[in-house]
Amino acid sequence: MSNKDILTCDLYDLTFDMEIPKSTLGHFYCDKYAALPVRREGGRLWVATSDPQNGRALNSLADLTGMFIEPMFAREEDIRFHINRIFGSERIGTIASQFAAEELKRAAVPGIEAENGEDLRNAPAVRLIESLIESAVLYRASDIHLEPGERHMRARFRVDGRLTDFQRVDISMQPHIISRLKILGGMDIAEKRLPQDGHFKARVREEDIDFRLSTLPTLHGEKAAVRLLYGKESRLGKDELGFFPEDLTKLNDLFNRPFGAVFITGPTGSGKSTTLSCFMEGLNTGDINIVTVEDPVENPLPGVNHMRIEPAAGLTFQNALRSILRQDPDVIMIGEIRDPETARIAIQAAVTGHLVLATLHTNDAAGVLERLLDMGVEPYLVAAALSGVISQRLVRRICPDCKAPKPLSAGEALTLGVPPGSPSFAGAGCSRCGGTGYRGRLAVYEYIITDDALKRRMIQDPERFAVKLRKKRAETGLKANCLRNIAEGNTTAGEIIRALNYG
């Protein structure tokens, strides 16, 4: 068959029966040959493969199925993704069933346990963890949650900020799975009564990934949460965060100031560290000294000096900052300001010629001033140091492949305070987004860049100033940004209503 006779298919656009791969090749051979049957008609089987010229593989597929193989070219990563989507939970279910059968056999026949019996018991847990991690990476999950119940342990993935069920396994596997994770994370497998933290690295699908592991004792056993930190190939650029071009220009200027303090605020999981890392990467030109103090280090950048605090060893944010100031830094990044002493050191560094970048937990941009004052920082120091504040939330992006106009409902319009029928969009759901209508996330935000006039008002009456600023931002800040993202089709009204905590 010549190249021109081979069809090319996009598996995300192709609608096919998920039972065909199961009934013709099964998981083992689909995975072995990176081949996915997509259509069956009479004695012919159309198979998506990344190497349609591989005659030996095609002959093997023909022998296995007893059918004539019609090869179709598709990208291998797309084939692997669909194989995992079709067979992933089934594979984990098979591993769990095998484990349960072995447990029954061991219980029924005393003395069957060999010298290496514990290794045999843990082998299914090893395979299950590997399968879970591989599935999570293919789904681009940010977290894996393993939650024990009375009879089952539930595995869930967090994808685009939302937790979704992936698989349930018998509770008898739970201690072996947790033990395997603890071994990977360098944790104490004998300690089951106290929370523990660990980390490990692995190469999955040709990608280097850091895993942060946390265990927690619960009523039915230990729960585990695994954070996946993808490599630099997956790191977002500033233009991918969701900032509108005219705002991005102003923020670039803000981060390029030689000194002062820039704060990023928002609730946990709002992408503060990601935004800071993106702008810090732009500062990392090789001719300045950038030092960070974090807990933990989430986005390591080549050429940046990252320091992780170790409270058990006496290395706190305060101690780390004092040491950093003796290291001739140009830029200091503080993972989070949590206490008055850290706040004072950071502000003093900002007024003595350093650019200080930090995250802070407040509800809005104006809340930074109130929080710093509550921590005991003098108003004149805050005014002198503060260069700008960004407050953000994360919302899901509408999938661009199934996006379609969908005017706001009367209820949505009333909640958002806009006319009914205002333009908006939604995703219908397709194979690229897993039927959710969303793919990826973006930041909705407001920001304040200080000038001399603003600083004078800040010093004169800081408490009233924060109240006035909050009222002004309510009209022109986060909500206005959210409504623009709805109108331009970047996200849905439902996501914005959730982000703004309406209703």
Specify the pTM.
0.80
pLDDT digits (tens, 9 = 90+) for 334-367: 999 999 999 999 999 999 999 999 999 888 888 8
pLDDT of residue 100: 63
For the chain, give every residue range classified as CATH 3.30.300.160.
Answer: 3-74
pLDDT of residue 115: 41
pLDDT of residue 2: 46
Separation between Cα atoms, residue 275 and residue 229, nearest integer Å? 15
pLDDT digits (tens, 9 = 90+) for 133-180: 988 988 889 999 999 999 999 999 999 989 999 888 888 889 989 999
pLDDT of residue 502: 64
pLDDT of residue 107: 57
For the chain, give every residue range classified as CATH 3.30.450.90.
Answer: 79-233
Q: 162-170 and 152-159: which strand pairing?
A: antiparallel
Separation between Cα atoms, residue 332 and residue 317, nearest integer Å? 12
Residue that has been written with the tokens 């018998």 in this structure:
170
User: What is the fold of 3-74?
Assistant: GMP Synthetase; Chain A, domain 3 (3.30.300)
CATH architecture type of domain 235-394+441-474:
3-Layer(aba) Sandwich (3.40)
Separation between Cα atoms, residue 31 and residue 469, nearest integer Å? 58
Cα 425 off chain centre by: 24
CATH architecture type of domain 79-233:
2-Layer Sandwich (3.30)
Q: Is 211 helix (H, G, I), strand (E, B) or coil?
A: strand
pLDDT block averages, 10 residues each, the chain of length 503: 66 77 87 90 92 91 93 87 76 66 58 46 75 87 95 93 88 90 94 94 88 95 94 78 95 95 92 92 93 87 92 89 94 93 95 95 88 92 94 95 92 92 91 84 94 89 81 75 95 93 64
- Starting at the earlier edge strand, list the strands of the sheet with 290-294: 305-308, 290-294, 331-334, 355-360, 260-265, 386-398, 438-449
pLDDT of residue 280: 94
pLDDT of residue 102: 62
Q: What are phi and psi of 191, to 5 degrees?
A: -85, 110
For the chain, give every residue range classified as CATH 3.40.50.300.
Answer: 235-394+441-474
